[in-house]
Amino acid sequence: MKQFISVNDVRKIDTLILSALAYKANPFSDRSLGANKRIGCLFLNPSMRTRLSTQIAAQNLGMECIVFNVGQEGWALEFEDEAIMSGNTVEHVRDAAPILGNYFDILAIRTFPSLKNREDDYSELYIKQFIKYAGIPVVSLESATLHPLQSLTDIITITEEIQNSNPDRYRDKNQRPKIVLTWAPHVKPLPQCVANSFAQWVNAWGRCDFVITHPEDYELSDEFTNGATILHNQEEALKDADFVYVKNWSTYNDYGKIYTNDPKWQLKKKRWAVTNNAKVMHCLPVRRNVELSDEILDGEMSIVTQQASNRVWAAQAVLAEILRRNA
């Protein structure tokens, strides 16, 4: 693996899952793999889970990890090639990235979309410019359109749940679960990254029946959703679900808008009751009683803490794979 930007950088998802679960069982088994190696984690936007789990994962592998909140503490970066930098940007990524490439062995970056211009956001200019100019492996800590470390974690968590469940829990003997990604209301327009990425990974993984449900006009890009069944009736979608992934996203077609905040889309126990005693997932942070009700988040069906805790093992599996192949 030369970089980790999307599922397309992964040769075998199942191998990565096995590696992550092995690290969960034995966190320090590869303590020497990252000895004398350094990862730089650049945050242009806020984070709790991604930042801390990546740091812990690097340290478990014996790496040094330096975190730089470039969005708050660094020079304002310019990303457009041939820009005339007479505005607010101070340093071009073309100048900054090669220096970072000399300081670090792996560079990890979080950049959110502007949600103003779809073409710009979906071009993934920021992360692509770092890849182009840093000259070292780049890991996405969430980019304008995707959140691959989150999605790998999500599939690890689903796998773990299936492995630990009662053998007759699933509807067929191949233990092929029904996974539902459901839109939820939110007070602010949010990126499509988590939903795009989850759809992309689940489709690539292919070991489930996959349904996406959202209000009309909240379609995601079919580049990521192709292969999933799309339903606008949440109750119908949730029927017999084994896993329900709750997430808000803003509109994709009329880009970055909120069309509805209909509280009927908030997952409550009454609606959850049509599922196959489904486990409920969310990437966090979550707006309680807007996106998800207290009764779900605090109930036995919620696996959000387990899911967020698994972020460490996903990051560790990815960093280890990059170290083995490149460092």
Closer residue to ligand CP (CB): 3 or 307: 307
Closer residue to ligand CP (CB): 58 or 237: 58
Closer residue to ligand CP (CB): 19 or 153: 153
CB of 142 to ligand CP, least distance (A): 6
SS3 per-residue string spanning the chain: CCCECCHHHCCCHHHHHHHHHHHHHCCCCCCCCCCCCEEEEEECCCCCHHHHHHHHHHHHCCCEEEEECHHHHCCCEECCCCCCCCCCCCEEHHHHHHHHHHHCCEEEEECCCCCCCHHHHHCCHHHHHHHHHHCCCEEECCCCCCCHHHHHHHHHHHHHHHHHCCCCCCCCCCCCCEEEEEECCCCCCCCCHHHHHHHHHHHHHCCCEEEEECCCCCCCCHHHHECEEEECCHHHHHCCCCEEEEECCCCCCCCCCCCCCCHHHCECHHHHCCCCCCEEECCCCCCECCCECHHHHCCCCECHHHHHHCHHHHHHHHHHHHHHHHC
CB of 85 to ligand CP, least distance (A): 30
CB of 305 to ligand CP, least distance (A): 12
CB of 192 to ligand CP, least distance (A): 14
CB of 29 to ligand CP, least distance (A): 25
Closer residue to ligand CP (CB): 50 or 302: 50
Residues making contact with ligand CP (CB under 6 A): 47-50, 142, 150, 283-284
CB of 324 to ligand CP, least distance (A): 25
Closer residue to ligand CP (CB): 199 or 237: 199
Scan for tokens 């992964």, then name that residue.
10
Closer residue to ligand CP (CB): 142 or 160: 142
CB of 36 to ligand CP, least distance (A): 27
Measured at CB, which residue is nearest to ligand CP?
A: 50
Closer residue to ligand CP (CB): 191 or 256: 191
